[in-house]
Amino acid sequence: MNASTGSVFDETRFSADRLGSLGGATGSTDERLRVRTPITDEEIGTVASFQPDDVERAVERVRERQPAWEAMGIQTRAEIVDRFGDLVSNRRAQLLDLVQLETGKTRQHALEEVLDIVLTASYYGAAGPKLFGDERRRGAIPGASDAVVTYDPVGVVGVIAPWNYPLTLSMTDAIPALLAGNAVVCKPDERTPYTALAVASLLEEAGVPDGLVRVVTGDGSTVGPSLIDAVDYVAFTGGTETGRTVAERAGRNLIGCSLELGGKNPLLVLDDADVEVAARGAVKGAFTNAGQLCLAPERVYVHEDRYEAFLDAFVGETRALTLGCSFEYGPDVGSLIDGAHAERVGTSVDEARDSGASVLTGGRRRRDVGPFVYEPTIVTDVDADCPLASEETFGPVVSVSPVSSVDEAVDRANDSAYGLNASVWTGNVERGREIARQIDCGTVCINDPYTVGWAAVDAPMGGVGDSGLGRRHGPEGFDRFVESRTIATARYGPLEPPASLSNRTAARLLAVLTGVQRRIVRWRS
């Protein structure tokens, strides 16, 4: 794996004044949060360090502005959401710079974030009016009653976003929440606040009223609980253990929550797969964003008839990758987020090696490329009790194991507490779909590691088990942010038998009416 050179800093791109303009509102103290770039491990600026009272006031202020936003109507809100997507596309160069500066990812991987926001905004901008209208439902007694379901926004939605995809994951939940008529308060990770601040300013430029969206920056353990206590719904993306804490607090407050958490995602290479194609897909899946992707495959199971050929192709493709910290298109793999995470990834590989695993390529930290760069790493013969076998690594590390049958591959894929994403590689798509139904994951991709699932924004995405609760994308991703109301009408007064009937006769009449209604339901279905 070679290092790719390129310019790291360009003062016209990253002036102190430019970052300072994104610094956000001040909190109740003068304390500031220092932000560093993983590219050089240098400080790039400071942002406000919000305290609990600051968060509460921020929520109160956006709550005051929410009714006017709701009153603008779904069509107007949809037009603003669509316009926001256009602005993100038009400002992509600046956004790419900012995402790279905060995360250290390559420009190509940063581009995926920008394109994702454009796609999501376009989808909800077009689908919004269809998702929000009143719905007529079957009444208790046809002809004598009816029922209509109406929808209202929940109020204020809190979005808690992680550092690995700071643009996508600060906005992919905020977009449908805003479309539904809610106000939004976003808590970005303390390592990546500037991206959230920048994109929030684009929302206002698109037409979202001033003050309806607020970014609260600061330490997660301070800001997070205060935000959950103040909002009406929380959308969280992050680690599983933190997700449990979020769900517990939301439950105590009797508010809804959606949680997209970790994964130990399996990739299955069947006996009829094209190993060259599967190897390219495994490289893309495992090493995009230096493996810091919740959807990335970390466990590869290959049919024994394809095992050696796949390994040769996979190792060859991986060794050809270039490493680099550049703001130009070029390097294939960028940096990990910080030193602590680089140490965790390295320790995971070292423990596997010490327990008998073979490192076929990679396995080294590359300080010559960047302070937190780690080589894309392929490991075999991993002991089942080794943490690398079952715990999320969240880095450019993947294990490969042979299996003797499809049943064994499925069993091993399902032998995990996680269930976020999986992929199946086969020459027979129908066979792949049949196998996909047997895998305990919220999303299963055929002949692609994750992109076709994530980019299908009309389809729900989320996990099962320790990978989370709820779904984003599609109508399901919108429905999280509304409360339904049923308005039922009796056309001729209360639904009760005439007072002139005896109780016995009334009971017989109700039984007859129930039978008629059942036949009507069956006929209509």
Rg (the chain; Cα; Å): 26
Residue 28 belongs to some domain of the structure: yes
pLDDT at 11 over 50: no
Are 41 and 167 found together in one domain? yes
Q: Flag whether pLDDT at 518 surpasses 60.
A: yes
The percentage of residues in the chain with a pLDDT greater than 90, rounded to a whole number, is 85
Give the domain extent around 410. 265-458
Same domain, 86 and 202: yes
Q: Provide the pLDDT confidence category of residue 142 given band limits of 50, 70 and 90.
A: confident
* Same domain (yes/no): 311, 247: no
CATH of the domain at 377: 3.40.309.10
Measured distance CA(445)–CA(305) in Å, rounded = 22
207 lies in the same domain as 320: no
Per-residue tokens: 168: 């996508």
> Could you report the per-residue pLDDT of 477-511, keeping only the tens digit for each?
999 999 999 999 998 878 777 778 888 887 887 78
Is 26 a residue whose pLDDT tops 80? no
Three-state SS for 167-194 is CHHHHCCHHHHHHCCCEEEEECCCCCHH
The CATH number of the domain where 65 resides is what?
A: 3.40.605.10
> How many angstroms separate the CA atoms of 442 and 262, rounded?
12
Q: What is the DSSP string of 115-149?
A: HHHHHHHHHHHHHHHHHHS-EEE--SSBTTEEEEE
Give the mean pLDDT of the chain: 93
- Residue 470: predicted pLDDT: 97
Q: pLDDT per residue over 423-453, tens digit each?
A: 999 999 999 999 999 999 999 999 999 999 9
End-of-domain residue from the set 403, 426, 458: 458
pLDDT confidence of residue 97:
96
Would 504 be classed as within a structural domain? no
Active site residue 386: no
Please indicate, yes or no, whether residues 249 and 287 belong to a single structural domain of this protein.
no
* Same domain for 286 and 254: no
**Assigned domain for 205 exists:** yes
- The arithmetic mean of pLDDT across residues 295-304, rounded, is 98
Handedness of CA 425, 237, 468, 178 (dihedral sign): negative
Active site residue 260: yes
DSSP-derived 3-state class of residue 151: strand
How far apart, in whole angstroms, are the C-alpha atoms of residue 472 and residue 284? 23
207-250: pLDDT as tens digits: 999 999 999 999 999 999 999 999 999 999 999 999 999 999 99
Residue with the bigger pLDDT between 25 and 258: it is 258
Between CA 138 and CA 517 the distance in angstroms is 10
Catalytic residue among 112, 113, 190, 294: 294
For the record, the structure tokens of 387 come out as 């943490």
Residue 89 and residue 160 share a domain: yes
Look at residue 522 in the predicted model and tell me its pLDDT.
77
Q: Is 45 inside any structural domain?
A: yes
Domain presence at residue 381:
yes
pLDDT at 132 exceeding the cut of 50: yes
At 278, list the tokens: 């599967």
Q: Is pLDDT of 12 > 50?
A: no
Same domain, 163 and 230: yes
**Residue at 519 is within a domain:** no
Provide the pLDDT confidence category of residue 10 given band limits of 50, 70 and 90.
low
Same domain, 302 and 334: yes
The whole-model pTM stands at: 0.94
Helices 193-206 & 92-103, crossing angle to 10 degrees? 160
For residues 172 and 167, what is the distance between their CA atoms, to the nearest angstrom? 8
pLDDT of residue 504: 85
Pairing assessment for the beta strands 145-153 and 135-137 based on DSSP bridges: antiparallel
Number of folded domains that form the chain: 2
Among 120-134, 415-429, 496-510, which is the least confidently predicted range? 496-510
Q: Which residue has the higher pLDDT, 354 or 1?
A: 354
The answer to whether residue 470 sits within a structural domain is no
Residue 467 lies in a domain: no
In this structure, the answer to whether residues 201 and 68 fall within a common structural domain is yes
CB 172 within 8 A of CB 117: yes
For tokens 């695993």, name the residue.
357
For residues 94 and 216, membership in a common domain is answered with yes
The 10s digit of each residue's pLDDT in 168-196 is 999 999 999 999 999 999 999 999 999 99
Q: What is the DSSP letter of 397?
A: E
What integer pLDDT is reported at residue 404 of this predicted model? 98
pLDDT of 139? 85
b/e code 439-467 from CB counts within 10 Å (16+ = b): bbbbbbbbbbbbbebbbbbebbbbbebbb
pLDDT category of residue 141 using cuts at 50, 70 and 90: confident
d(CA 332, CA 324): 7
**Which residue is catalytic, options 260, 298, 317, 392?**
260
Q: Which of 80-84, 141-145, 296-300 has the lowest mean pLDDT?
A: 141-145
Q: Do 137 and 219 belong together in one domain?
A: yes
Q: What is the pLDDT of residues 74-101, one digit of tens each?
A: 999 999 999 999 999 999 999 999 999 9
Identify the H or E element spanning 345.
Answer: helix 339-354
